[in-house]
Protein backbone atom coordinates (compact mmCIF):
# COMPACT_ATOMS: atom_id res chain seq x y z
CA UNK A 1 0.00 0.00 0.00
CA UNK A 2 2.87 2.33 0.89
CA UNK A 3 4.50 1.61 -2.47
CA UNK A 4 1.34 2.55 -4.31
CA UNK A 5 0.98 5.76 -2.32
CA UNK A 6 4.59 6.71 -3.04
CA UNK A 7 4.12 6.01 -6.75
CA UNK A 8 0.96 8.15 -6.78
CA UNK A 9 2.80 10.98 -5.02
CA UNK A 10 5.67 10.84 -7.53
CA UNK A 11 3.19 10.69 -10.41
CA UNK A 12 1.25 13.76 -9.22
CA UNK A 13 4.41 15.71 -8.38
CA UNK A 14 5.65 15.31 -11.96
CA UNK A 15 3.12 17.78 -13.26
CA UNK A 16 2.96 21.53 -13.05
CA UNK A 17 0.14 22.83 -10.89
CA UNK A 18 -0.85 25.43 -13.50
CA UNK A 19 -0.75 25.91 -17.23
CA UNK A 20 2.64 26.89 -18.70
CA UNK A 21 3.67 30.53 -18.52
CA UNK A 22 3.45 32.48 -21.80
CA UNK A 23 7.21 32.18 -22.34
CA UNK A 24 7.15 28.43 -21.72
CA UNK A 25 4.10 28.00 -23.95
CA UNK A 26 5.86 29.82 -26.77
CA UNK A 27 8.98 27.68 -26.28
CA UNK A 28 6.85 24.52 -26.43
CA UNK A 29 5.12 25.80 -29.56
CA UNK A 30 8.46 26.44 -31.28
CA UNK A 31 9.59 22.92 -30.36
CA UNK A 32 6.41 21.41 -31.78
CA UNK A 33 6.70 23.43 -34.99
CA UNK A 34 10.26 22.13 -35.43
CA UNK A 35 8.89 18.60 -35.01
CA UNK A 36 6.14 19.36 -37.52
CA UNK A 37 8.74 20.61 -40.02
CA UNK A 38 10.70 17.38 -39.56
CA UNK A 39 7.53 15.35 -40.17
CA UNK A 40 6.84 17.45 -43.27
CA UNK A 41 10.30 16.56 -44.62
CA UNK A 42 9.78 12.93 -43.57
CA UNK A 43 6.69 12.67 -45.76
CA UNK A 44 8.62 14.12 -48.69
CA UNK A 45 11.40 11.58 -48.13
CA UNK A 46 8.78 8.83 -48.02
CA UNK A 47 7.35 10.02 -51.31
CA UNK A 48 10.80 10.09 -52.91
CA UNK A 49 11.47 6.59 -51.59
CA UNK A 50 8.24 5.33 -53.14
CA UNK A 51 8.65 7.11 -56.46
CA UNK A 52 12.21 5.83 -56.92
CA UNK A 53 11.17 2.31 -55.82
CA UNK A 54 13.70 2.34 -52.99
CA UNK A 55 11.39 1.33 -50.16
CA UNK A 56 11.97 -2.43 -50.27
CA UNK A 57 15.77 -2.24 -50.26
CA UNK A 58 15.97 -2.76 -46.49
CA UNK A 59 14.36 -6.12 -45.77
CA UNK A 60 14.68 -6.06 -41.97
CA UNK A 61 13.29 -3.70 -39.37
CA UNK A 62 15.98 -2.60 -36.95
CA UNK A 63 14.47 0.37 -35.12
CA UNK A 64 17.56 0.96 -32.97
CA UNK A 65 20.08 0.94 -35.82
CA UNK A 66 21.64 4.34 -36.46
CA UNK A 67 24.57 3.48 -38.75
CA UNK A 68 24.53 2.24 -42.35
CA UNK A 69 26.76 -0.60 -43.58
CA UNK A 70 30.35 0.61 -43.17
CA UNK A 71 32.42 -2.16 -44.76
CA UNK A 72 32.28 -4.11 -48.00
CA UNK A 73 31.34 -7.20 -46.01
CA UNK A 74 28.37 -5.44 -44.42
CA UNK A 75 27.23 -4.10 -47.80
CA UNK A 76 27.46 -7.55 -49.36
CA UNK A 77 25.43 -8.96 -46.48
CA UNK A 78 22.66 -6.38 -47.02
CA UNK A 79 22.68 -7.00 -50.77
CA UNK A 80 22.55 -10.77 -50.29
CA UNK A 81 19.52 -10.36 -48.01
CA UNK A 82 17.78 -8.16 -50.61
CA UNK A 83 18.43 -10.78 -53.31
CA UNK A 84 16.21 -13.27 -51.46
CA UNK A 85 13.06 -11.19 -51.90
CA UNK A 86 10.55 -10.68 -54.74
CA UNK A 87 11.64 -7.19 -55.82
CA UNK A 88 15.13 -8.39 -56.75
CA UNK A 89 13.97 -11.74 -58.14
CA UNK A 90 11.13 -10.35 -60.29
CA UNK A 91 12.23 -6.80 -61.12
CA UNK A 92 15.82 -5.97 -60.23
CA UNK A 93 17.85 -9.09 -60.96
CA UNK A 94 20.09 -6.93 -63.17
CA UNK A 95 21.32 -4.94 -60.17
CA UNK A 96 24.94 -4.83 -59.08
CA UNK A 97 26.05 -3.73 -55.62
CA UNK A 98 26.54 -0.14 -56.79
CA UNK A 99 22.93 -0.02 -58.05
CA UNK A 100 21.67 -1.47 -54.78
CA UNK A 101 23.50 1.19 -52.78
CA UNK A 102 21.62 3.94 -54.62
CA UNK A 103 18.20 2.70 -53.54
CA UNK A 104 19.43 1.62 -50.10
CA UNK A 105 20.69 5.09 -49.16
CA UNK A 106 17.34 6.75 -49.75
CA UNK A 107 15.43 4.21 -47.68
CA UNK A 108 18.06 4.33 -44.94
CA UNK A 109 17.82 8.15 -44.83
CA UNK A 110 14.03 7.90 -44.61
CA UNK A 111 14.20 5.54 -41.64
CA UNK A 112 16.99 7.47 -39.92
CA UNK A 113 14.98 10.68 -40.27
CA UNK A 114 12.12 9.00 -38.43
CA UNK A 115 14.45 8.19 -35.54
CA UNK A 116 15.68 11.79 -35.55
CA UNK A 117 12.08 12.95 -35.14
CA UNK A 118 11.72 10.61 -32.18
CA UNK A 119 14.78 12.08 -30.46
CA UNK A 120 13.82 15.69 -31.23
CA UNK A 121 10.37 15.06 -29.75
CA UNK A 122 11.21 12.84 -26.77
CA UNK A 123 14.21 14.68 -25.32
CA UNK A 124 12.65 18.18 -24.98
CA UNK A 125 9.44 16.51 -23.76
CA UNK A 126 11.41 14.84 -20.97
CA UNK A 127 13.13 18.13 -20.13
CA UNK A 128 9.83 20.00 -19.89
CA UNK A 129 8.43 17.27 -17.61
CA UNK A 130 11.58 17.25 -15.45
CA UNK A 131 11.25 21.01 -15.00
CA UNK A 132 7.60 20.57 -14.03
CA UNK A 133 6.46 22.83 -16.86
CA UNK A 134 3.95 20.33 -18.25
CA UNK A 135 0.50 20.12 -16.70
CA UNK A 136 -1.48 16.90 -16.81
CA UNK A 137 -3.48 17.83 -19.89
CA UNK A 138 -0.37 18.67 -21.90
CA UNK A 139 1.36 15.53 -20.65
CA UNK A 140 -1.34 13.35 -22.16
CA UNK A 141 -1.34 15.31 -25.40
CA UNK A 142 2.43 15.05 -25.77
CA UNK A 143 2.40 11.38 -24.76
CA UNK A 144 -0.29 10.69 -27.33
CA UNK A 145 1.77 12.37 -30.04
CA UNK A 146 4.83 10.36 -29.04
CA UNK A 147 2.86 7.11 -29.10
CA UNK A 148 1.35 7.98 -32.47
CA UNK A 149 4.83 8.62 -33.86
CA UNK A 150 6.03 5.24 -32.62
CA UNK A 151 2.96 3.53 -34.06
CA UNK A 152 3.62 5.27 -37.37
CA UNK A 153 7.09 3.72 -37.50
CA UNK A 154 5.65 0.27 -36.85
CA UNK A 155 2.97 0.87 -39.48
CA UNK A 156 5.71 1.80 -41.95
CA UNK A 157 7.37 -1.56 -41.43
CA UNK A 158 3.98 -3.30 -41.68
CA UNK A 159 3.60 -1.63 -45.07
CA UNK A 160 7.10 -2.62 -46.24
CA UNK A 161 6.55 -6.21 -45.11
CA UNK A 162 3.63 -6.51 -47.53
CA UNK A 163 6.12 -6.17 -50.41
CA UNK A 164 8.42 -8.89 -49.12
CA UNK A 165 6.09 -11.86 -49.57
CA UNK A 166 4.75 -12.58 -53.06
CA UNK A 167 4.62 -9.40 -55.11
CA UNK A 168 7.38 -6.77 -55.32
CA UNK A 169 5.02 -3.94 -54.36
CA UNK A 170 3.59 -2.80 -51.06
CA UNK A 171 -0.13 -3.12 -50.33
CA UNK A 172 -2.00 -0.02 -51.43
CA UNK A 173 -4.18 -0.38 -48.32
CA UNK A 174 -1.17 -0.23 -46.01
CA UNK A 175 0.36 2.61 -48.01
CA UNK A 176 -2.87 4.55 -47.61
CA UNK A 177 -2.97 3.89 -43.86
CA UNK A 178 0.69 4.89 -43.49
CA UNK A 179 0.25 8.17 -45.37
CA UNK A 180 -3.03 8.94 -43.60
CA UNK A 181 -1.40 8.46 -40.20
CA UNK A 182 1.55 10.66 -41.21
CA UNK A 183 -0.81 13.49 -42.16
CA UNK A 184 -2.83 13.10 -38.96
CA UNK A 185 0.36 13.14 -36.88
CA UNK A 186 1.54 16.25 -38.71
CA UNK A 187 -1.82 17.97 -38.24
CA UNK A 188 -2.03 17.13 -34.54
CA UNK A 189 1.46 18.47 -33.83
CA UNK A 190 0.62 21.72 -35.61
CA UNK A 191 -2.73 21.93 -33.80
CA UNK A 192 -1.25 21.52 -30.31
CA UNK A 193 1.47 24.04 -31.19
CA UNK A 194 -1.15 26.55 -32.28
CA UNK A 195 -3.07 25.91 -29.06
CA UNK A 196 0.05 26.78 -27.06
CA UNK A 197 0.65 29.95 -29.06
CA UNK A 198 -2.95 30.98 -28.50
CA UNK A 199 -2.64 30.41 -24.75
CA UNK A 200 0.36 32.77 -24.70
CA UNK A 201 -1.47 35.53 -26.59
CA UNK A 202 -4.13 38.03 -25.49
CA UNK A 203 -7.67 36.72 -26.11
CA UNK A 204 -9.54 37.90 -29.18
CA UNK A 205 -12.28 40.31 -28.10
CA UNK A 206 -13.77 41.11 -31.51
CA UNK A 207 -17.20 39.54 -30.99
CA UNK A 208 -18.29 40.19 -34.56
CA UNK A 209 -15.27 38.30 -35.90
CA UNK A 210 -15.75 35.48 -33.38
CA UNK A 211 -19.35 35.08 -34.52
CA UNK A 212 -18.24 34.99 -38.17
CA UNK A 213 -15.61 32.38 -37.35
CA UNK A 214 -18.27 30.20 -35.74
CA UNK A 215 -20.30 30.40 -38.96
CA UNK A 216 -17.27 29.28 -40.97
CA UNK A 217 -16.27 26.46 -38.68
CA UNK A 218 -18.61 23.76 -40.01
CA UNK A 219 -17.58 24.00 -43.66
CA UNK A 220 -13.92 24.42 -42.70
CA UNK A 221 -14.11 21.20 -40.66
CA UNK A 222 -15.63 19.39 -43.63
CA UNK A 223 -13.03 20.59 -46.13
CA UNK A 224 -10.18 19.70 -43.73
CA UNK A 225 -11.53 16.17 -43.39
CA UNK A 226 -12.10 16.07 -47.14
CA UNK A 227 -8.47 17.04 -47.72
CA UNK A 228 -7.48 13.90 -45.81
CA UNK A 229 -9.87 11.86 -47.94
CA UNK A 230 -8.19 13.19 -51.10
CA UNK A 231 -4.80 12.27 -49.63
CA UNK A 232 -6.04 8.72 -49.05
CA UNK A 233 -7.34 8.46 -52.61
CA UNK A 234 -3.98 9.75 -53.86
CA UNK A 235 -2.22 7.06 -51.84
CA UNK A 236 -4.32 4.43 -53.61
CA UNK A 237 -3.36 5.93 -56.98
CA UNK A 238 0.30 5.78 -55.95
CA UNK A 239 0.07 2.27 -54.53
CA UNK A 240 -1.45 0.90 -57.74
CA UNK A 241 0.62 3.08 -60.11
CA UNK A 242 -2.78 4.12 -61.45
CA UNK A 243 -1.45 7.49 -62.57
CA UNK A 244 0.48 5.87 -65.41
CA UNK A 245 -2.66 5.20 -67.43
CA UNK A 246 -5.43 7.39 -68.89
CA UNK A 247 -3.07 10.36 -69.14
CA UNK A 248 -5.58 12.86 -70.46
CA UNK A 249 -7.69 15.53 -68.80
CA UNK A 250 -10.56 16.32 -68.38
CA UNK A 251 -11.58 13.28 -70.44
CA UNK A 252 -10.63 9.81 -69.28
CA UNK A 253 -10.49 7.12 -71.93
CA UNK A 254 -12.23 9.62 -74.21
CA UNK A 255 -15.17 10.18 -71.85
CA UNK A 256 -16.04 12.27 -68.83
CA UNK A 257 -17.29 9.12 -67.08
CA UNK A 258 -15.44 6.18 -68.62
CA UNK A 259 -16.82 2.69 -69.03
CA UNK A 260 -15.28 0.00 -66.86
CA UNK A 261 -15.46 1.75 -63.51
CA UNK A 262 -17.30 -1.15 -61.87
CA UNK A 263 -16.04 -4.27 -63.63
CA UNK A 264 -14.77 -5.95 -60.46
CA UNK A 265 -16.84 -7.88 -57.97
CA UNK A 266 -17.83 -7.13 -55.27
CA UNK A 267 -18.59 -3.65 -56.55
CA UNK A 268 -16.94 -1.76 -53.68
CA UNK A 269 -13.59 -3.42 -54.39
CA UNK A 270 -13.37 -1.20 -57.47
CA UNK A 271 -12.80 1.78 -55.16
CA UNK A 272 -9.55 0.26 -53.92
CA UNK A 273 -8.31 -2.18 -56.58
CA UNK A 274 -9.59 -1.12 -60.01
CA UNK A 275 -6.90 1.17 -61.43
CA UNK A 276 -9.37 3.14 -63.54
CA UNK A 277 -11.83 3.65 -60.70
CA UNK A 278 -9.12 4.65 -58.24
CA UNK A 279 -7.80 7.32 -60.60
CA UNK A 280 -11.31 8.51 -61.49
CA UNK A 281 -12.23 8.82 -57.81
CA UNK A 282 -9.09 10.83 -57.12
CA UNK A 283 -9.98 13.24 -59.92
CA UNK A 284 -13.53 13.69 -58.67
CA UNK A 285 -12.55 14.06 -55.02
CA UNK A 286 -9.79 16.55 -55.81
CA UNK A 287 -12.12 18.70 -57.93
CA UNK A 288 -14.73 18.55 -55.16
CA UNK A 289 -12.14 19.68 -52.61
CA UNK A 290 -11.21 22.68 -54.76
CA UNK A 291 -14.93 23.48 -54.96
CA UNK A 292 -15.35 23.28 -51.17
CA UNK A 293 -12.35 25.53 -50.64
CA UNK A 294 -13.73 28.02 -53.17
CA UNK A 295 -17.15 28.06 -51.50
CA UNK A 296 -15.50 28.58 -48.12
CA UNK A 297 -13.37 31.39 -49.54
CA UNK A 298 -16.29 33.27 -51.07
CA UNK A 299 -18.39 32.78 -47.91
CA UNK A 300 -15.53 34.24 -45.90
CA UNK A 301 -15.63 37.39 -48.02
CA UNK A 302 -19.19 38.03 -46.79
CA UNK A 303 -18.19 38.00 -43.13
CA UNK A 304 -16.26 40.28 -40.82
CA UNK A 305 -13.37 37.91 -40.06
CA UNK A 306 -9.96 38.45 -38.53
CA UNK A 307 -7.01 39.35 -40.75
CA UNK A 308 -5.46 35.97 -39.96
CA UNK A 309 -8.53 34.05 -41.12
CA UNK A 310 -8.75 36.16 -44.26
CA UNK A 311 -5.10 35.54 -45.15
CA UNK A 312 -5.32 31.81 -44.44
CA UNK A 313 -8.50 31.43 -46.48
CA UNK A 314 -6.98 33.30 -49.41
CA UNK A 315 -3.73 31.31 -49.20
CA UNK A 316 -5.69 28.06 -49.10
CA UNK A 317 -7.67 29.07 -52.19
CA UNK A 318 -4.51 29.93 -54.11
CA UNK A 319 -2.70 26.77 -53.00
CA UNK A 320 -5.66 24.58 -53.94
CA UNK A 321 -5.53 25.96 -57.49
CA UNK A 322 -1.76 25.44 -57.69
CA UNK A 323 -2.19 21.90 -56.38
CA UNK A 324 -4.83 21.19 -59.04
CA UNK A 325 -2.42 22.37 -61.76
CA UNK A 326 0.34 20.19 -60.28
CA UNK A 327 -1.96 17.16 -60.20
CA UNK A 328 -3.16 17.60 -63.78
CA UNK A 329 0.40 18.18 -64.99
CA UNK A 330 1.62 15.06 -63.18
CA UNK A 331 -1.08 13.05 -64.92
CA UNK A 332 -0.51 14.51 -68.40
CA UNK A 333 3.26 13.92 -68.17
CA UNK A 334 2.82 10.33 -66.90
CA UNK A 335 4.10 10.85 -63.37
CA UNK A 336 7.67 12.18 -63.59
CA UNK A 337 9.31 11.73 -60.19
CA UNK A 338 10.08 15.41 -59.57
CA UNK A 339 6.57 16.57 -60.47
CA UNK A 340 4.85 13.80 -58.52
CA UNK A 341 6.92 14.80 -55.49
CA UNK A 342 5.88 18.43 -55.93
CA UNK A 343 2.26 17.28 -56.13
CA UNK A 344 2.57 15.36 -52.86
CA UNK A 345 4.25 18.35 -51.21
CA UNK A 346 1.41 20.53 -52.46
CA UNK A 347 -1.03 18.21 -50.70
CA UNK A 348 0.88 18.70 -47.46
CA UNK A 349 0.72 22.49 -47.82
CA UNK A 350 -3.02 22.42 -48.60
CA UNK A 351 -3.61 20.31 -45.49
CA UNK A 352 -1.40 22.56 -43.35
CA UNK A 353 -3.33 25.66 -44.43
CA UNK A 354 -6.65 23.89 -43.83
CA UNK A 355 -5.56 22.92 -40.31
CA UNK A 356 -4.40 26.47 -39.62
CA UNK A 357 -7.69 27.88 -40.88
CA UNK A 358 -9.75 25.40 -38.87
CA UNK A 359 -7.82 26.25 -35.72
CA UNK A 360 -8.30 29.97 -36.35
CA UNK A 361 -12.10 29.66 -36.60
CA UNK A 362 -12.33 27.35 -33.57
CA UNK A 363 -13.04 29.19 -30.28
CA UNK A 364 -10.26 29.01 -27.70
CA UNK A 365 -12.50 27.30 -25.17
CA UNK A 366 -13.50 24.67 -27.71
CA UNK A 367 -10.10 24.01 -29.27
CA UNK A 368 -10.19 20.24 -29.00
CA UNK A 369 -7.60 18.18 -30.88
CA UNK A 370 -7.99 18.18 -34.62
CA UNK A 371 -8.80 14.47 -34.66
CA UNK A 372 -12.07 15.25 -32.90
CA UNK A 373 -12.82 17.96 -35.44
CA UNK A 374 -12.26 15.89 -38.58
CA UNK A 375 -12.44 12.23 -37.60
CA UNK A 376 -16.16 11.91 -38.47
CA UNK A 377 -15.34 12.92 -42.05
CA UNK A 378 -13.20 9.88 -42.96
CA UNK A 379 -12.57 6.26 -42.05
CA UNK A 380 -9.28 4.90 -43.46
CA UNK A 381 -8.87 1.22 -44.34
CA UNK A 382 -5.81 -0.36 -42.74
Alpha-carbon gap, residue 206 to 266, rounded angstroms = 54
Indicate the residue among 201, 222, 237 that finishes a domain: 201
- 333 lies in the same domain as 195: no
- 381 lies in the same domain as 300: yes
Phi and psi at residue 18, in whole multiples of 5°? -140, 170
- 186 lies in the same domain as 250: no
- 231 lies in the same domain as 254: yes
Strands of 164-249 (E only): list them.
none
Domain ranges, residue 23? 15-201
CA gyration radius, the chain: 23
- 77 lies in the same domain as 182: yes
- 21 lies in the same domain as 118: yes
Burial of 31 (0-12, 13-18, 19+ CB in 10 A): buried
Q: Tell whether 3 is covered by a domain.
A: no
Q: Tell whether 132 is covered by a domain.
A: yes
- Which residues does 275 contact at the CB level (< 8 Å), separation at least 6? 240, 241, 242, 245
Reading the chain (382 residues) residue by residue, the pLDDT tens digits are 555 555 444 545 566 556 788 999 999 999 999 999 999 999 999 999 999 999 999 999 888 888 999 999 999 999 999 999 999 999 999 999 999 999 999 999 999 999 999 999 999 999 999 999 999 999 999 999 999 999 999 999 999 999 998 888 999 999 999 999 999 999 999 999 999 999 988 887 778 888 889 999 999 999 999 999 999 999 999 999 999 999 999 999 999 999 999 999 999 999 999 999 999 999 999 999 999 999 999 999 888 899 999 999 999 999 999 999 999 999 999 999 999 999 999 999 999 999 999 999 998 865 554 444 444 444 444 3
Alpha-carbon gap, residue 235 to 34, rounded angstroms = 26
Indicate the residue among 174, 201, 228 that finishes a domain: 201
Tell me if residue 133 falls in helix, strand or coil. coil
**Alpha carbon separation from 293 to 281, 287, 318, 368 (Å, rounded):** 18, 10, 10, 22
- 190 lies in the same domain as 255: no
Helices (H) and strands (E) in the chain, counts: 13, 0
- 258 lies in the same domain as 155: no
Alpha-carbon gap, residue 364 to 113, rounded angstroms = 34
Tell me if residue 255 falls in helix, strand or coil. strand
Cis status of the peptide bond prior to 250, with omega within 30 of 0: yes
Amino acid sequence: MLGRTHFLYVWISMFATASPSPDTARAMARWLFVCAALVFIMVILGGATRLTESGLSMVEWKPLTLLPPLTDTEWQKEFAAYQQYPEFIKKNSWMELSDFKEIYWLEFTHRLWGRLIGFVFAIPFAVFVFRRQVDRGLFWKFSGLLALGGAQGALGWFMVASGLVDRPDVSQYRLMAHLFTAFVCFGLIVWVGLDLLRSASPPDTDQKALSAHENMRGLTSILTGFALLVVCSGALVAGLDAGKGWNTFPLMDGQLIPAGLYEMSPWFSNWFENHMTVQFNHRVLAITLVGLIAVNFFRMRRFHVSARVRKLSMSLMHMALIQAVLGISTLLLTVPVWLALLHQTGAQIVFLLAVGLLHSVTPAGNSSPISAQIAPQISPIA
